[in-house]
Amino acid sequence: MMTMRAWRAGLVVVALVYLHDTLRYLTMLPRVNVDEPWLMERAYQVMRTGIPSQPMLGLQHAYLLQVGYGYLLAAWMAPFGVGILQARLLGVVLGLGIIAMVAWIGRRTIDAQTGLAAALFLALDSNFLGGARNARTDIPSVFFATAALAAYLLGREKSQKALVRVRRRQPWSRCALSWQCILGRPDSAGVVAPRLRPTRARRLVRLRRGRRTCADLRAVPRHGPDPMA
């Protein structure tokens, strides 16, 4: 069982390995991709005019292909300056965030060793390092997708903790919050449903047979006729 201090120390080592592989010769390797000046120009136009236009291509109106990255890069370059180094540093920072979230997700879902191993493999992967060293849209997309998954796991854990607190405070609701009631088992629901307080539970739904179920735990629409009534 890995302690939290050991896990954090391992994550620092992984981060140092990643930064060593990405910061060296950042403006030289890989060579400048054709997409980088194209995306940087739109970010620069956002900084100047607020519109992601492309004067280099003769487009004075908003160019709406991958427009979100132009605003993201503009917000990054506004305090740090305009240049290939600053643009590529954004990818390096987002890549570091991806590695940290992968380690966190692995620790939360499996164990600490798995999270560190996944982060280390990612920090040593040439494809990932090449994407992090480019000022393109690949790494930001991966970053926000990973952040969404991490937010989902965090929200699930919080909801489970809230469920445990409800069970401890209200012993009468333990059966109602069990999987039997969620699946609509009438044998357990018939005992618990009449005891549910209306201020604490959602609306109950009657089946055609006239039995009460624990459908109060399901999301019942508040508008329109009830098809189960």
Task: Give tens-digit pLDDT for 57-103.
Answer: 887 787 777 888 999 999 999 999 999 999 999 999 999 999 999 99
Q: Name the residue with higher pLDDT: 128 or 161.
A: 128
Q: Which has the closest alpha carbon to 17: 125, 102, 106, 112?
A: 125
Name the phi and psi angles at 76, rounded to 5.
-80, -45
CA gap 35, 40 in Å, rounded? 8
pLDDT over 50 (residue 193): no
CA distances from 62 to 37, 52, 105, 199, 226 (A): 17, 5, 38, 52, 47
Query: For the residues of 159-219, what is the DSSP string, one character each?
Result: HHHHHHHHHHH-GGGTTTTSHHHHTT-HHHHHHHGGGS-TTTS----B-TT--B-SGGGS-
**Is residue 200 predicted with pLDDT exceeding 80?**
no
The pLDDT value recorded for residue 167 is 62
């990643």: which residue's tokens?
18
pLDDT above 50 (res 211): no
Q: How many CA atoms lie within 13 A of 131 on its CB side?
A: 17
Return the structure tokens found at 226. Answer: 């009830």
Q: Residue 60: what pLDDT?
A: 79
Residue 168 CB contacts under 8 Å (≥ 6 apart), including other chains: none
- Backbone phi and psi for residue 13, each to the nearest 5 degrees, phi listed first: -65, -45
DSSP state of 36: H
> Is this model's pTM higher than 0.85 or not?
no
Helices (H), the chain: 4-23, 35-49, 67-80, 84-109, 112-123, 126-132, 138-169, 179-182, 186-192
Split at pLDDT 50, 70, 90, the class of 17 is very high
Which pLDDT band holds residue 229 (cuts at 50, 70, 90)? very low
Could you say which DSSP state residue 54 is in? Answer: B
